[in-house]
Amino acid sequence: MTARLRKLMDDLAETFWLLPALIVFIGALSAAGLVQLDRSGILPRWLLEGWLYDGGATGARTLLGAVASSTIGVAGTSFSITIAALSLAAGQMGPRLLRNFTRDRGNQLTLGIFLGTFCYSLIVLRSVRTQDEGAFIPHLSLTIAIILAFVCVATLVYFVGHMAGRINVDTVIELVSDEVQSAIVRLTTDKKPAAPPPTEFWRHGVAINDSRQGYLQHIDDQGLADWAASHNTAIRLLLRPGHYVFPGAPIAIVVPQVEGADAAIQDATALGPQRVSSADLEFAVRQLVEVAVRALSPGINDPHTAMSALDRLGGALCQLVPLHLPTGVVTRDDRPTLVVPSIQYEGLLNAMFHMIRQNAAANAAVLIRMLNVLTAVVSAERDGSRMASLKLHADLIVGDARRNITAPSDVQDVERRYAAFLATQNGGPLGELKR
């Protein structure tokens, strides 16, 4: 149930309509309340005569009609600008980055203010009465409508500048990089996690099949571990968040088999039609990789964007230096009750660099930047196994350069950066100076 609640919260956070709908509701409620306040007659005369709208009913209707018609027109224009920005983002940076635009609070706030002002004006308009109809003019409500009109003007100016900044590729890369850093903080630990049990522990386990299909988005690991401990069993999930659940395929192994394990696993997992980054570090990384790979395509040919993405990936690896990636082991009374697969350092490096290297195999500038990034990371990293994984990718880069780059001088540049990486790996940050 906790996993499904997390999925619901993530889905609501991803929706474009929630904040505008809330603002529209507030606008409608405020209009009804302010009209009732005007009807009550408790407003002081000095306020009515000196500060509030003091025109007639005809002018009030004209004013409210103008505010309503202009705000709904500008809202349509803003929506068109948003659609154009989404189309540009999908073509230049990848369709999976559209969520960064749809979940953007600035876009949602802009649309909400325009639509909220429109609904406010309509509700106030229906209360205005001429002398023949009963003579009622909501002075306070009309004054607020004028203020909202000025707010809409300021919002339009903000929106134009905001969208101009959002479609900048460096801004998009920084947003995705922030998401990667947030995922690292959320999904790593500064304490060494428990080691998973040996393979023999699961030798006599029973596979649990799942009839559902979709991407595994969330796991209530603590709740599932509590259930396993209370039933004196252990569960090993075969999939982690971000993996696709195929209908009828095994999703877990249970040792020993107990009744209700399949229902408990289904209750503790939430599936969806797409991957999310809240519990999937690899997906957050692959968004940056997608920007770099698209930038390296012949149709776009923008290596500088790929280099910017590589810099952010290197920053994420440096952020990981003092941290431990989770092993997915949850214990109860010092006994492993749940094991969830988790991405390891080598797999994270593969997700970061393989596709970029393969698409930049003949681009000396991008390969050199990759080696520079790896050199910076290895200068900060002291873990032997991590350094070995970094060297593996450096070897792949220099190998691709030797095979695919035809200019000897470019190959020599790549090899010099590779030599600097090796010197840094062996001698630390000052290793290159000692060569």
Contacts of 349 (CB under 8 A, 6+ apart): 317, 389, 390, 392, 393
d(CA 147, CA 123): 16
At 323-334, the pLDDT tens digits run 999 888 988 888
pLDDT tier at 390, thresholds 50, 70, 90: very high
Percent of the chain having pLDDT more than 90?
44
- Cα dist from 286 to 63, 77, 151, whole Å: 51, 33, 39
CB 118 within 8 A of CB 71: yes
> Among the listed ranges 9-18, 384-393, 421-430, which one has the minimum average pLDDT value?
9-18
For range 318-347, the mean pLDDT: 90
Other C-beta atoms closer than 10 Å to the C-beta of 113 total 26
The predicted pLDDT at position 414 comes to 94
The predicted pLDDT at position 154 comes to 95
For range 220-230, the mean pLDDT: 90
The predicted pLDDT at position 434 comes to 55
Q: pTM of the predicted model, to two decimals? A: 0.82
- The arrangement of strands across the sheet holding 214-219 comes to 244-245, 214-219, 269-272
Q: State the alpha helices, DSSP H only, in 41-56.
A: 45-50
At 278-288, the pLDDT tens digits run 778 888 898 88
- The arrangement of strands across the sheet holding 234-237 comes to 206-209, 250-255, 234-237, 335-339, 329-332
d(CA 381, CA 430): 14
d(CA 357, CA 292): 10
d(CA 70, CA 175): 33
Asked whether residue 435 carries a pLDDT value surpassing 60, the answer given is no
For range 52-63, the mean pLDDT: 83
The three-class DSSP label of residue 305 is helix
The predicted pLDDT at position 366 comes to 95
Asked whether residue 85 carries a pLDDT value surpassing 80, the answer given is no
d(CA 430, CA 379): 9
- Cα dist from 309 to 91, 100, 109, whole Å: 17, 16, 29
The predicted pLDDT at position 389 comes to 95
d(CA 371, CA 411): 13
Asked whether residue 198 carries a pLDDT value surpassing 90, the answer given is no
- Cα dist from 53 to 24, 49, 133, 143, 414, whole Å: 24, 8, 20, 5, 73
Greater confidence, 39 or 122? 122
- The DSSP call for residue 324 is B
CB 401 within 8 A of CB 360: no
Greater confidence, 82 or 96? 82
CB 337 within 8 A of CB 225: yes
Across the chain, what does the average pLDDT equal? 87
